Chains A and B, each alone.
Chain A
Amino acid sequence: MTSDGLLPTTIREAAADLRAGRHTAVGLTAALIERTESLNPTLGAFVTVTAEHALEAAVAADRDFAAGVDRGPLQGIPLAVKDIIATRDAPTTANSRVLDPAWGAGVDAPVVERLRDAGAVIIGKATTSEFACGLPDPDKGFAVPRNPWNIEHSAGGSSSGTGVAIAAGLVLGGLGTDTGGSVRFPAALNGHTGLKVTFGRVPKNGVVPLAYTLDSVGPMARSAEDCALLLEAIAGHHEGDRYCVDIGVPRYSTLLTGNVDGIRIGVPMPYFFDDEGLDDEVRAAVLAAIDVLGDAGAAVEETVVPHAREAKVANTITMGAEAFAYHRDDLVTRWSDYGRHTRMTLGRAALFSAADYAQAQRFRSYFMREVAELFESYDVLVTPAWPSPARRIDAMASEDMVVGPSFSGPWNLAGLPAVAVPCGFSTDGLPLSMQIVAKPFAEDIVLLVADAYQRVTDWHLRTPPIARAQQSSLAINS
């Protein structure tokens, strides 16, 4: 696959360009900042652009290249960081008037520190749904993120800005967080790849919490290979996160063989493919993608995920209860300072009981065991990543999360790795996406299957017209 313009579209491509002297980190960074300054007012991808600090990091990367110092494939690569993750050079707002402005000031979250150690260039703080939940409220003074494929449509959430920035070519990758689908949702709607990691695979200290037993920080980029490169940098134990697991970090990118021969794919038809909330075009595209994997040698079989619908509910209750605990005092005293959708989302948790939370954890025990048995028979499960293409922003309500299906939340409940992978477009020109799920810490397997699919398709490399128009007007002054 090749990129379609002057700027590299993937981390792997940019890394090769930088080492071959076709570009410099400063030239690449400056070009993407220029593109960001042009498109951000329309797309609302960034809360803060740290241009000066980014260029300083790019200068350092070029200096290292010149000195023969190579910190790995992220050296000199421009990235976005979701604005609930602390960075030392910009405030963290969580897109909220409620968060203490001093929160995280002057420090990097471990995941950011690791990216900087790898030589990455942080371009800025990307828009998030307020506190990683709810929908945008333009009355609160933060930009509404817009889908670059159609700006009247949703960019998904909550890692909206990172998703928009990648799809529009403002950065080559970035970080999101995922508690019920917040990496996979924007990846699906904006047409790129997003990996929700195993709970405990990546440290989440230095990140504004949403739900303590569900939150994860995950890589977002055009391709599965790029997600692997990002994951190699950010994964691994950190003593500041009590949930972060102390096991080795594979070189994920070296495990992407492109070979799915013999890989056992389970396709859970009930709920994931027959729920009335599933869009027909999504269903057809995902089934076609599964056929591609089958043609490549994977063994495909229909299966059942027991009580998947209830797993979505248990995830919702768990998320709601844990988030409410964090926000309660502010909800009581500063209700109107929250965005109108955020406070409804958080407030709904008050309608559940303490017993409901306990029962959700009992259900979680059961569900994890049932899913574990399923993975004795299958290496991965493949489902739609999201039930529909991006909907119009003005047609969305916070209650949609209650009444609609979620194909992502069950995997947060079980703590499993899952990747969203572009697999087509709707008749309206909006991206469609499948989800690949595996057992705990099998990020290598989900990335292998995703990468194998992307070696024979190019959905993940398509760029929206708004980005192509910009691309043609920019040149890198290397």
Chain B
Amino acid sequence: MPANTMPANTMPANTMPTHTMPANTVEKVKALLAAAQLTVSDDELERFVAVYPTMRAQADSLYLRHLKDEELALGFDPSAPAHDDWSLT
């Protein structure tokens, strides 16, 4: 028989098991999930905790110094050429 999807309690590489996490990381994730009103299993909590430091570091990487004066891209309109010489086909 073909294999099914990965068991729910299998961790991918590059994430950290919960017992190696600082206690405040676990508490942060619990607080964030609670604020979102999400009720998750212990196994799922462990998976969220394991990946949280990576996610937080990735999000922090967007706070680039040279974006200080950048506006949001809300009102995103890719039809508007970013340069005058961009001709639409």
Chain B associates with chain A: yes
CA gap between A399 and B16 in the complex, in Å: 12
Point out the residues of chain A lying under 8 angstroms from B24, CB to CB: none
A59 within 8 A of B: no
CA gap between A351 and B56 in the complex, in Å: 8
B23 within 8 A of A: no
Q: Is the CB of B76 within 8 A of A364?
A: yes
Please report whether the interface of chain B is mostly helix, strand, loop or mixed according to DSSP.
loop
B20 within 8 A of A: no
Residue of A nearest to B13 (CB): A403
CA gap between A199 and B12 in the complex, in Å: 32
Best-buried of A136, A324, A393 by chain B (most CB within 10 Å): A393
Q: Shortest distance in angstroms between B4's beta carbon and chain A's nearest beta carbon? A: 5
A292 within 8 A of B: no
| Residues of A345-394 whose CB lies within 8 A of B | 347-348, 350-353, 356, 358-366, 368-369, 372-373, 375-376, 392-394
Contacts A332-B38, A350-B35 given; indicate if A199 touches B14 (C-beta within 8 A). no
Please pick, from A328, A396, A443, the residue contacting B6 in the complex, using a CB distance under 8 A.
A396
Point out the residues of chain B lying under 8 angstroms from A441, CB to CB: 79, 88-89
Q: Is the CB of B2 within 8 A of A152?
A: yes
CA gap between A375 and B82 in the complex, in Å: 10
Q: Is the CB of A365 within 8 A of B71?
A: yes
CA gap between A102 and B6 in the complex, in Å: 31
Contacts A348-B48, A376-B83, A403-B14 given; indicate if A360 touches B62 (C-beta within 8 A). yes
CA gap between A343 and B39 in the complex, in Å: 11
A213 within 8 A of B: yes
Point out the residues of chain A lying under 8 angstroms from B55, CB to CB: 348, 351-352, 402
Q: Is the CB of B44 within 8 A of A397?
A: no
Point out the residues of chain A lying under 8 angstroms from B2, CB to CB: 144, 146, 151-152, 393
Q: Is the CB of B5 within 8 A of A393?
A: yes
Please pick, from B3, B8, B58, B73, the residue contacting A152 in the complex, using a CB distance under 8 A.
B3
A464 within 8 A of B: no
CA gap between A387 and B53 in the complex, in Å: 23
CA gap between A250 and B66 in the complex, in Å: 39
Contacts A313-B61, A362-B70 given; indicate if A416 touches B8 (C-beta within 8 A). no
Residue of B nearest to A135 (CB): B5
CA gap between A245 and B44 in the complex, in Å: 41
CA gap between A173 and B81 in the complex, in Å: 31
Q: Is the CB of B47 within 8 A of A200?
A: no
Point out the residues of chain B lying under 8 angstroms from A152, CB to CB: 2-3
A137 within 8 A of B: yes
Please pick, from A138, A343, A403, the residue contacting B54 in the complex, using a CB distance under 8 A.
A403
Q: Shortest distance in angstroms between B41's beta carbon and chain A's nearest beta carbon? A: 9
Q: Shortest distance in angstroms between A315's beta carbon and chain B's nearest beta carbon? A: 11
Point out the residues of chain A lying under 8 angstroms from B77, CB to CB: 200
> Which residues of chain A have a CB within 8 Å of any CB of chain B?
135-138, 144, 146, 151-152, 198-200, 213, 245, 247, 250, 307, 309-310, 313-314, 316-317, 324, 328, 331-332, 335, 340-341, 343-344, 347-348, 350-353, 356, 358-366, 368-369, 372-373, 375-376, 392-397, 399-400, 402-403, 414-416, 439-445
* With A372-B82, A394-B3 already in contact, 13 other A-B pairs whose C-beta atoms are closer than 8 Å: A199-B76, A200-B79, A316-B58, A332-B37, A335-B40, A344-B48, A347-B48, A361-B74, A363-B62, A373-B83, A397-B11, A399-B47, A403-B54
Rank and list the top 9 A-B pairs by shortest CB-CB distance, nearest first: A415-B78, A372-B82, A350-B36, A394-B3, A364-B73, A361-B72, A245-B79, A403-B14, A362-B70
What are 8 A-to-B residue pairs whose CB atoms are below 8 Å? A138-B5, A152-B2, A332-B36, A347-B44, A359-B62, A362-B62, A363-B62, A366-B70
